[in-house]
Structure 1
Amino acid sequence: MQLYLIQTMWNGIDRMNSFLEDNYIGLAWPAIGDLEYTAPNDFAQRFMQSYDMGHNEAADIIESLHMFVRIMQDGDFVLIKDDRGVVVGDLGDYYYDDSAGNREDMICHRRGVTWLGRIPLEELNDKVRAFLNQPELLARFDYPFHEAQLDRWFSQASAPEQTTGQSVRVDAATVEEALHVLRQALRSDDPDHRIRAAAAILEYAKD
């Protein structure tokens, strides 16, 4: 189980509201297409064939794409930050979505996220606050997950809010789909997945 940080600002556009409203995180660079079945060794070749940029800049982006597609796993956790603190989410699988087009500012490489709550900046420990200063587009926490001390917030933190201060609303069909996924996860061979699914269902039942 790992913890990641992803930046929401890209190409002058803040994606935080979109990430929260549509329950995903993502990266751009649509010209390289879907990477789900692409061998990691081919990432660099596809990127360099699609984009003309310096070696160092390209290497950083390729590393972020590799981490996003291959290193991140379903059940890991991600943080997005604003000036009030962070929102923590439970990650899902990678998928490629170009349904809104393939302009260079489109976020096509995606992972679904179940947002668990917002944590005020002053409640984060020193290791996590230092982690938030990472400049990379995508970064991984250098310590074991438990040292972030976030788990106590999963059931206590209020539902994430948009930067406008309004609560994120999810339609009934999406809620039912999410519950279906959680019911399937209850039958997973992975005990961690079963525990998280049970906790999420019980939390939903209390509301």
Structure 2
Amino acid sequence: MFNYNVNIFQMKSKPHGIERLNEFINTNENGLSFVAIGWPGIGDLTNKSKKEIRDLLIEKYEYEGQQLANYLGAVNAFVNTVKNEDLVLISNNLDQVFVFEVGNYKYVKEYDNDIDGMCHQREANLLVILNKSDLVPELQELLRNRGTITQFKYPFEKSGLDKWLEPDNSELNFKLDDLINKSLSTLEKELLSDDAMVRINAAKEILCYAAKESK
């Protein structure tokens, strides 16, 4: 059963200005990948408050005014607002939308440089790839946002993602119902058997099924 108590975010795939979507969708030996933002040089942000992140951004990048507000909002959202099991949507120029379920924030020191620039990461599991045109207007609007990361302002139910994320059991249920009907038909034929034990066992199975269905 999918967890409907999650938040949804759109996110860009260019940490530190470098396109990383291919890295985001490639999986490791555990079948998982990652998503990341830029801003190297400010260290591990685990348990850092918004104010502490603000001070680090000012010290490293000398941001001020609206620029500081925008970038602080992005970094703090990725580190503190996004939670384990939340959904991150990333779109490409082919109007495909990659839906990831993300894990907790982690700092990867080896990427804390201007060449890699993606030390702030979250482990990610790619759930599904959709066409942007298939999404509800509210999600399409979210994906048009130019910010590094933006939260969906509506409840999860408004996203319409459940029809792709919730396993579709209709085919399975149909096959199961068909199997049950065939089994009951076989048992009914066995009620006409010349063998008394066959008739008794068939009757028992039918009565047991009927008893379960009546509960």
TM-score (norm. length: structure 2) = 0.68
- Counterpart in 1 of 2:62? 52
Q: CA deviation at 1:9?
A: 2.9
Count how many residue pairs are aligned between Structure 1 and Structure 2.
157
TM-score (norm. length: structure 1) = 0.70
Q: CA deviation at 1:114?
A: 0.7
Q: CA deviation at 1:122?
A: 2.1
- Counterpart in 2 of 1:185? none
Measured in 1, the distance between the counterparts of 2:96 and 2:143 equals: 9
Q: CA deviation at 1:50?
A: 1.0
- Counterpart in 2 of 1:124? 135
Q: CA deviation at 1:106?
A: 1.2
Structure 1 runs, 4 residues or longer, greater than 6 Å off: none
SS state at 1:31 partner = coil
Matched, 1:90 2:95: no
Q: CA deviation at 1:99?
A: 1.6
Give structure 2 stretches of 5+ with no counterpart: 1-5, 28-32, 169-215
Post-superposition CA distance 1:112-167 (Å, at most 9, x none): 1111010112211111111111011100001001111112112679xxxxxxxxxx
Please, which of 138, 148, 167 is the counterpart of residue 137 of structure 1? 148
- Counterpart in 1 of 2:19? 14
Specify whether residues 28 and 12 from structure 1 end up closer, same or farther in structure 2 by C-alpha distance, changes over 3 A only: closer
Matched, 1:115 2:93: no
Q: CA RMSD in A?
A: 1.9
- Counterpart in 2 of 1:201? none
More helix by share: 2
Measured in 2, the distance between the counterparts of 1:101 and 1:12 equals: 14
Identity rate of aligned residues, in percent? 25
Post-superposition CA distance 1:25-45 (Å, at most 9, x none): 111111110010222221111
Residue type at the aligned position of 2:84: D
Higher mean C-alpha displacement, 144-153 vs 8-17: 8-17
Question: Are the equivalent residues in 1 in contact too, given 2:95–2:132 (CA < 8 A)?
Answer: yes
